[in-house]
Structure 1
Amino acid sequence: MHSKPSPASAIRPAAPLELDLRGDVADLTARLMDIESVSGNEGPLADAIESALRNLPHLVLHRDGDAIVARTMLGHPERVVLAGHLDTVPLPTTPGARGTVPVSWEGETLYGRGATDMKGGVAVQLALAATLENPNRDVTFIFYDHEEVEGSKSGLGRLFRSSPELLAGDFAILLEPTHGTVEGGCNGTSRYKVRTRGVAAHSARAWMGENAIHAAAPILRILADYSPKTVDVDGLAYRESLNAVRISGGIAGNVIPDYCEVEVNYRFAPDKDVAAAEAHVFELFKDFEIIRTDGAPGARPGLQHPAAASFVAAVGREPKPKFGWTDVARFSELGIPAVNFGPGDALLAHSDDEHVTRAAIHECLAALELWLGGKPATGEGS
């Protein structure tokens, strides 16, 4: 009698896969990408990272599920947090897609799931953890699970709840893809369901009912006519947006629908909190039934903080706003100024063509090495 084989995602290797943290950081990126880590399957990658970091005596390690915190304890007056998530969205299903696993190189460009979002950034973290034994600031490296799914599963959120003292710092950098430019703070996000109700009837006798889908036309008109604001927050211009993202209604092809629901997503500048965003949306749709289903505050850029200002100077590029929501907002809630900075183009994230260049990964590492007191940045690699 043969036992049923376990799913591949449930199988852990007998020993953690080996990672060379001191080799070329772009090759390390490829190695990380080859360890498939779609959300929920971060375990093998977390095991490999923990195993590699435990060989570094200058770091103190803590593991919580598939999240790992590694800290220098040098007694510097300032501590910086470098954070990155281990998981990716599911692999492409399009035949011939290059943004999959295992990875492929085309010249000096690396293709595969996680190339930009965000194993290039994680590789930079690991390279710094291995080589910066005496940084000019104490550094906390955070590697966490479940970023690409609902916030309740976030490994970073779990650490914030269970061990907030491990995440303390004066300034945080999230190594999300930013094309090598500092992107300060982030927009907030909230979702709503705007509803209309009618009276069901046979579609052959439509005059006996009231069509709830037709009644939703004013909702769509409000959205189509809406002019989103661009809001200046601490010198950065955050562009807002308000859009219908889903609509549902009706039960059959011969029934006048008595219910319709439009899901609305509001991306709001970090000058307002979730309550203020909700008040704005509720006012727009005051003539309709509406509920808020989700909301997360944004983060102000915090570029006035001395550590942030010195980092921007080390990067040498004009900072930009982050329009999407990222985990910098979690650090902001703790009172820690935070920015996004990482290799690769965020517009390629989650695409069938996801890729990053070797040079982009090298340049990201070089900028952080320069700022943290490592070897001089050359722009040609590490």
Structure 2
Amino acid sequence: MDVFDILDRLVAFPSVAGKPNGDIAGWIEAYLAKHRTQVTLLRGPEGDRSNLFATIGPADVPGYILSGHMDVVPASEPQWSSAPFALRREGERLYGRGTTDMKGFLAAVLAAVPTLAGLRLASPIHLAFSYDEEVGCRGVPHMIGRLPELCAKPLGVIVGEPSGMRAVRGHKGKAAARVTIKGRSGHSSRPDLGLNAIHAMSEALSTAVSEAERLTHGPFDAAFEPAYSSLQAGVIAGGQSVNIIPDSCTLELEARAIPGIDPASLLAPVKVRAEALAAQGYVVEWTPVSAYPALSLPQDTALAALLGELTGEAPLAAVSYGTEGGLYQAAGLDAIICGPGDIDRAHKPDEYILTSELAACQRVIEALGARCAA
């Protein structure tokens, strides 16, 4: 199978984050088994989805991990020009949910497997394909925890998120949370008898807004756009009718932190303000939704030099989006981003990748294999 056939099969799996992924993981496992790779499906605690880890070459010596995720975001937007889970080719463009983020990378890796398997690799190449990345990198920590039993400590991790095949050394960390405030309902003509949850939530929301403004004043890291950490309220919901005192309100918010700052700490002032509302009779629930640390790979590392040589371009300092790379780095492994496609095409209707981008990615992976065989 060539890279286009493989991508066609991968896109056809509606592997939306948060759903069972046995179909896509099983297909990849079967494909890899045909090419003499050591494959392990690592079932997550949810019971209905798995990470996949595979090794080409000797597992007991240090090598490199090619990291990607099998899940995609939903494709319910009405603006799609064709079925999102059916690959459509139009010239050099290949349309479909996940083509760029990031089944294109998976397809390029899998297309390179026959070549890699035919080499006598002195250093192994591992494939680490995770689940539920799109809902907060929930799957990969379980795989990272199993790495010591699966392989020798890797020399580095290449995370194939879309970067135009330009290596990237850093990204911000992120933390997201949901706060729910429960009050007491009643007729709007007697506000004195109820507890208005929306009014109460305005205090937590006001704190979020003021914290977001405060962060614009620094600290700064010029590698990022914007150069400061950020906080935003993304979703708010509550109430039933204008003449009913709302007894419940929910706010979802996120923080993105430059390296050196714990993203969860940026949400702490909102949490403190929300929980203080309990003294007024409200029930407050604070639920962490997701979190991952920033990635900051020093410029002088061997992994950065290697990717510069393989791609022919010096790695960029940072990107605005997040990846699983920060979690690998937190586990003591050097990690870098490098994958096909453009992040601006992701998470929107008519997502696509270029045939030339897939070819370039496959060439880099096979060049890495040649290095590992040297």
Settle same-fold status: TM greater than 0.5.
Answer: yes
Task: Pick one of 357, 362, 365 that aligns with 1:360.
Answer: 357
1:270 to 2:259 alignment: yes
Q: Distance in 1 between matches of 2:351 and 2:273?
A: 38
Q: Distance in 2 between matches of 1:32 and 1:312?
A: 29
Deviation sequence 1:328-354 (CA, Å, 0-9, x none): 233123211212221112222232211
Matches within 5 A, 1:330-369: 330-369=327-366
Contact 1:117 1:177 in 2 (8 A): yes
Q: Distance in 1 between matches of 2:11 and 2:250?
A: 40
Moved more, 301-310 or 358-367: 301-310
Residue of structure 2 equivalent to 1:81: 65
1:255 to 2:244 alignment: yes
- Give TM-score scaled by structure 2 length: 0.78
> Aligned-pair distance for 1:362?
1.3
Deviation sequence 1:38-79 (CA, Å, 0-9, x none): 44453333333222322323x333233443322133489641
Residue of structure 2 equivalent to 1:3: none
Residue of structure 2 equivalent to 1:174: 159
Contact 2:201 2:274 in 1 (8 A): no
> Aligned-pair distance for 1:105?
0.6
Residue of structure 2 equivalent to 1:189: 174
Amino acid in structure 2 at the alignment position of 1:357: L
Q: Please, which runs of 5 or more residues in structure 1 have no aligned partner? A: 1-19, 376-382
Amino acid in structure 2 at the alignment position of 1:265: E
Residue of structure 1 equivalent to 2:38: 60
Q: Distance in 2 between matches of 1:82 and 1:108?
A: 25
> Aligned-pair distance for 1:115?
0.6
Q: Distance in 2 between matches of 1:116 and 1:299?
A: 22
- Give TM-score scaled by structure 1 length: 0.77
Residue of structure 1 equivalent to 2:100: 116
Contact 2:168 2:315 in 1 (8 A): no
> Aligned-pair distance for 1:253?
3.4
Deviation sequence 1:269-291 (CA, Å, 0-9, x none): 23123554344655787966674
Amino acid in structure 2 at the alignment position of 1:83: S
Contact 1:198 1:209 in 2 (8 A): yes
Task: Pick one of 114, 125, 129 that aligns with 1:143.
Answer: 129
Q: Please, which runs of 5 or more residues in structure 2 have no aligned partner? A: 44-49, 279-283
Contact 1:99 1:353 in 2 (8 A): no
1:297 to 2:292 alignment: yes
> What SS class does the counterpart of residue 342 from structure 1 fall into?
coil
Contact 1:111 1:356 in 2 (8 A): yes
- Larger RCO (alpha carbons 8 Å, 6+ apart): 2
Residue of structure 2 equivalent to 1:380: none
> Aligned-pair distance for 1:364?
2.0
> Aligned-pair distance for 1:116?
0.8
Task: Pick one of 48, 60, 65 that aligns with 2:27.
Answer: 48
> What SS class does the counterpart of residue 180 from structure 1 fall into?
coil
Q: 1:53 to 1:249 in 2, by over 3 A?
A: closer
Moved more, 259-268 or 283-292: 283-292
> What SS class does the counterpart of residue 370 from structure 2 fall into?
coil
Contact 1:173 1:341 in 2 (8 A): yes
> What SS class does the counterpart of residue 183 from structure 1 fall into?
coil
Moved more, 198-207 or 266-275: 198-207
Identity %: 27
Q: Distance in 2 between matches of 1:294 and 1:34?
A: 29
Q: Distance in 2 between matches of 1:365 and 1:149?
A: 27
Q: 1:327 to 1:99 in 2, by over 3 A?
A: farther
Q: Distance in 2 between matches of 1:279 and 1:306?
A: 37
1:100 to 2:84 alignment: yes
Deviation sequence 1:136-185 (CA, Å, 0-9, x none): 74211123334334655x2x333334454326412101112122222334
Q: Work out the number of aligned pairs and report it.
A: 349
Contact 1:136 1:372 in 2 (8 A): no
Q: 1:138 to 1:101 in 2, by over 3 A?
A: same
RMSD: 3.4
Deviation sequence 1:110-153 (CA, Å, 0-9, x none): 0012211211100121123221224574211123334334655x
Q: 1:360 to 1:192 in 2, by over 3 A?
A: same
Contact 2:53 2:127 in 1 (8 A): yes
Residue of structure 1 equivalent to 2:302: 306
Q: 1:193 to 1:108 in 2, by over 3 A?
A: closer
Residue of structure 2 equivalent to 1:37: 15
Larger proportion of helix: 2
